[in-house]
Structure 1
Amino acid sequence: MPIVGYLILTDPPHLAVTTCADCAAYYFDRRDACASCFGTAFETKAVPSTGTLETFTVVEVAAPGVPVPYIAGVVDCGGISVRANVVNIEPTVAAVRLGMPLRLTTFPIGEDDEGTMAIGFGFEPIPGGKDN
């Protein structure tokens, strides 16, 4: 079960955005009206599964039970900004670079009492990837 509705668990997994047919504003959730132009016609489109890191922070303090440190970032995926954790990398400023190429990855988060696994997503470095 995806942790958010815009994580599509096909092969390969991808994210999907709701795009306003009138002004092209995008949203990572369902909309009845566009917040930019008040349009009511929408399309769904796939978000590219690779991108570059636009900005990030190393989170050192979090809610109880949330392991720290971790990297919270914004990834530019073909002009669509995605807020996500950067995973599978040492969570230090020295290990992470602005502009580094990343790809979408999924991972299990936990299981409920009925055995349904929650699946989350993040972005990981592309091995051998060059900065843009």
Structure 2
Amino acid sequence: MAERIPLVDYLVLGGEPQLVAQECEQCSARFFDRRNACASCGAAAFRAVTVPREGTVHTFSIVSMAPPGVPVPFVAAVVDCGGTRVRGCLVNVEPRPENVTLGMKVRLTTVPVGADSAGVEAVGYGFEPV
């Protein structure tokens, strides 16, 4: 099997893909990028926490215009995963308004995004209907 690497640092590949957030030790705000200080309270101490793999669609938009090379339409969404809001695309669902609903149950999945000349595959994430 070819080597696979995550497209973003907070995606952990393996048996079941997982997202890992940085949680403020003072106020419990969660962030997916590296932080020097919490944007909510200013504290500087964080701990890594695994975000639940399943969630519900909080909001979404069907995107019909994108830069060249980005296939459209697609569904951009914010998914509530146990209280942590995660931005991502909905996959394995036809991007039509009648196929996506607020509160729809979804789960984390991985999506191949390309490979280099050595065959190393970059892997992103999305959410698919449960």
Question: Number of residue pairs matched?
Answer: 126
**Cα distance between partner residues in 2 of 1:37 and 1:56:** 28
**Cα distance between partner residues in 2 of 1:27 and 1:107:** 22
**Cα distance between partner residues in 2 of 1:32 and 1:114:** 35
Number of the residue aligned with 2:123:
119
**Cα distance between partner residues in 2 of 1:43 and 1:10:** 21
Number of the residue aligned with 1:6:
10
Number of the residue aligned with 1:106:
110
Question: Does 2:42 align with 1:70?
Answer: no
* TM-score normalised by L of structure 1: 0.93
Unaligned segments of structure 1, at least 5 residues = 127-132
SS where residue 97 of structure 2 aligns? Answer: coil
**Cα distance between partner residues in 1 of 2:16 and 2:50:** 12
Q: In the TM superposition, what are the counterparts of 1:39-78 in structure 2 within 5 Å?
A: 39-78=43-82
User: 1:38-59 CA distances to partner (integer Å, 9 max, x unpaired)?
Assistant: 1111100000000000110100
Query: RCO higher in 1 or 2 (8 Å CA, sep ≥ 6)?
Result: 2
Between 56-65 and 27-36, report the one with greater CA deviation.
Answer: 27-36
**Cα distance between partner residues in 2 of 1:111 and 1:42:** 33
Number of the residue aligned with 2:30:
26
Could you tell me the percent identity over the aligned residues? 52
State the Cα RMSD in Å: 0.8
CA deviation after TM superposition for structure 1 residue 114, in Å:
2.7
Runs ≥4 in structure 1, deviation > 2 angstroms? none
Question: Does 2:95 align with 1:91?
Answer: yes
**Cα distance between partner residues in 2 of 1:23 and 1:98:** 28
